[in-house]
């Protein structure tokens, strides 16, 4: 039998398990569901139900929705805990919280907030607010363009 994406066959005689297993990862969640031959009335009907379930899960989200989700993932190397916001320490000792984003044209943008002027907590909050404001603005533009 040829390979079917995200679906595999389980035939375990020792446990009397005969089923199709659907396993799909979406937005860092793994979704697993088993389609038993006995419940669905045979191997072909169970496969048909598994395919229908898989297709519903893998339906393509709008590009703007995917884009926004992708931009808000907290990466392993993130030290601030907020995606697109970081603290930069200059050699002269000054510190700045910086909000980073990619604009609607694909250009890297940033805005910084001085710890000296605003204080540590306020500068961080201003950077977080700026990042959220820019993402919201870009998301509205992309949604209206249908990208």
Q: Model's pTM, two decimal places?
A: 0.53
- Give the range among 4-8, 20-24, 80-84, 119-123 with minimum mean pLDDT: 80-84
pLDDT score of 106? 78
Residue 63 pLDDT greater than 80, yes or no: no
Q: In sequence order, what are the beta bridge partners of 97?
A: 87, 113
pLDDT score of 49? 97
**CATH architecture of structural domain 64-145:** 2-Layer Sandwich (3.30)
**CA separation for the pair 109, 144 (Å, rounded):** 21
Domain spans, the chain: 7-59, 64-145
Q: What is the pLDDT of residues 100-140, one digit of tens each?
A: 988 877 788 999 999 999 999 999 999 999 999 998 888 77
DSSP string of the chain, one letter each residue: ---BTTEEEEEEGGGTEEEEEEEEEETTEEEEEEEEHHHHTSHHHHHHHHHHHHHHHTPPPPHHHHHHHHHT---TT-SSSSTTEEEEE-TTS-EEEEEEEE-TTS-EEEEEEEHHHH-HHHHHHHHHHHHHHHHHHHHHHHHHHT-
pLDDT score of 147? 46
pLDDT score of 104? 78
């Amino acid at each position: 039998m040829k390979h079917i994406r995200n679906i595999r066959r389980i035939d375990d005689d020792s446990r009397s398990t005969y089923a199709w297993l659907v396993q799909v990862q979406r937005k860092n969640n793994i979704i697993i569901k088993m389609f038993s031959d006995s419940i669905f009335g045979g191997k072909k009907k169970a496969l048909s139900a598994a395919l229908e379930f898989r297709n519903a899960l893998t339906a393509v989200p709008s590009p703007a929705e995917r884009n926004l989700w992708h931009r808000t993932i907290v990466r392993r190397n993130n030290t601030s805990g907020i995606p697109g916001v970081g603290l930069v320490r200059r050699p002269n000792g000054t510190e700045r919280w910086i909000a980073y984003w990619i604009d609607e044209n694909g250009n890297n943008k940033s805005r910084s907030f001085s710890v000296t002027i605003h204080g540590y907590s306020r500068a961080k909050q201003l950077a977080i607010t700026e990042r959220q404001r820019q993402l919201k603005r870009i998301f509205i533009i992309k949604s209206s363009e249908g990208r």
